[in-house]
Amino acid sequence: MTFFEKLGTRVHEINSLLCVGLDPRAENANDAREQCWRVMDATRAYAAAFKINSAFFEVFGGEGMNALREVIARAPQNIPVILDAKRGDIADTSAAYARAAFETFGATAITVSPYLGSDGLAPFFENAERGAFVLCKTSNAGADEFQALWHGERALYEIVAERAQTWNVKNNIGLVVGATDPARVARAREIAPNMWFLVPGIGAQGGDLEATLRAGLRDDGMGLLINASRSIASAAQPGEAAKKLRDAINEIRDSRFEIQKSESGNQKSKIPNAEQQLANDLLASRCVRFGEFTLKSGQSSPIYLDLRRLVSYPAILKRVAHAYAEILARLEYDRIAGIPYAALPIATAVALELNQPLIYPRREVKTYGTHATIEGEYYAGETAVVLDDLATTGETKIETIEKLTDAGLNVRDIVVLIDRGQGAGELLGRAGYRMHAVTTLPRLLEIWRAAQAITAEQYNAVLDFLNR
């Protein structure tokens, strides 16, 4: 069997996507070995795979290497063992690393770095019975420093996901995609719909289990290995902790693939894309609420959108920034211009995401100091792309654009998170500007209603309000 055929067999046998990570914090090689053995023995009934971090054995030299070999040998033959070593070098060196991992230590799979290109990874792919997980979008805080860099219209991690598919001719290559960024898990799944993902970041790193599963599961309910290390190893009863996490994963898997009724009959729900993730996030953060609200215009509305709340949800704000970034990657501009006040935190997050300079026009002219009307550095003749949270009629966008053009800046594009569908696009279009929206309120309503997150009465009330 190929590596992923073997893994799939194990997953089906015990109905588990749990990968138990072994990262022993020990004073010597013997302690490291004993720690791992204790966790392996306690969790083997629930583990689809074990992932062993070689660094915690290498630190003890030869004794550590012997202990690593003994830990790998402890695993039952039907449980794959992934050596977390993140190898990748010139061809001959990689060939030696591959022999060490698969022959000397007896691992079933290994994590590898794609930085040196395909020739540096080829030795790890040669044997179909041995697997390799290519680092794509990792879970550490500094991952975006390189992995989110844009090349043309794609981020680097997206290119890695595309290339890895072309390498996967023997069904033994997967991707490492961290749970700390579910929006990019969803994007990686869009690019690589059939590949297996090794997913670190659940537990001590704070990854969102439900968001990750909903973003990354394949249509068959498979395709993810959810890794947990410290949260299991440090538990008083590692076996119970593993069972609890396995069951939590399965509960989400089951709910994710419930049959939903539609006008065309019974249909299986699809893997959520970034737009569906956004719809979930907006409800979870209460940025969208249903009821009776008086708007600034004096109108009574059955829905209220308050995107200022995003500042209290950094993980969601980061996903929102990524959604803006995907649109901005197709546009030409020199600076991002955020509209005060609700859009300023969003614009800041987007600027950090893309490493692009940010400016913003003041609502009131500064009456002291520099008397600035626009904060931040800019130069006449540059092009600014305007960012806002919502689009309703478009009038406030025109006011902002006028301040920017009065300062000598050019504006062609406006990007918003949600277009309410009440005429903003048409107004801006007549004025010679292009408006881009991550999503629209009518589209969100469709998603929420299909997921039964809102009632038919709420759905109809908002549609009636929008169509007045």
Residues recognised as catalytic: 86
Q: Are strands 173-177 and 197-199 parallel, antiparallel or unpaired?
A: parallel
Asked whether 150 and 322 are in contact (CB, 8 A), the reply is no
In the beta sheet, which residues pair with residue 419?
391, 440
How far is it, in rounded angstroms, from Cα 385 to Cα 353? 15
Strand, coil or helix: what is 263? coil
As beta bridge partners, residue 300 has 294
Closest CA to 16 of 59, 60, 48, 45: 48
**DSSP β-bridge partners for residue 196:** none
Q: What is the largest CA-CA distance in the chain?
A: 76
Beta bridge partners of 21: 51
Q: What are phi and psi of 9, to 5 degrees?
A: -60, -45
What is the distance between the alpha carbons of residues 448 and 463, in angstroms, rounded to a whole number?
13
User: First CA to last CA across the chain, in angstroms?
Assistant: 62
DSSP string, 90-153: SHHHHHHHHHIIIIIS--SEEEE--TT-HHHHHHHHS-TTSEEEEEEE-SSTTTHHHHT-EETT
DSSP, collapsed to helix, strand or coil, labels residue 468 as: coil
- What six digits make up the tokens of 339? 């509209």
* Sequential DSSP letters for 32-84: HHHHHHHHHHHHTTT-SEEEEETHHHHTTHHHHHHHHHHHHHHS-TTS-EEEE
Whether the Cβ atoms of residue 418 and residue 440 lie closer than 8 Å to each other? yes
Contacts of 403 (CB under 8 A, 6+ apart): 361, 373, 374
The whole-angstrom separation of Cα 111 and Cα 189 is 19
Distance CA 196, CA 251 (A): 20
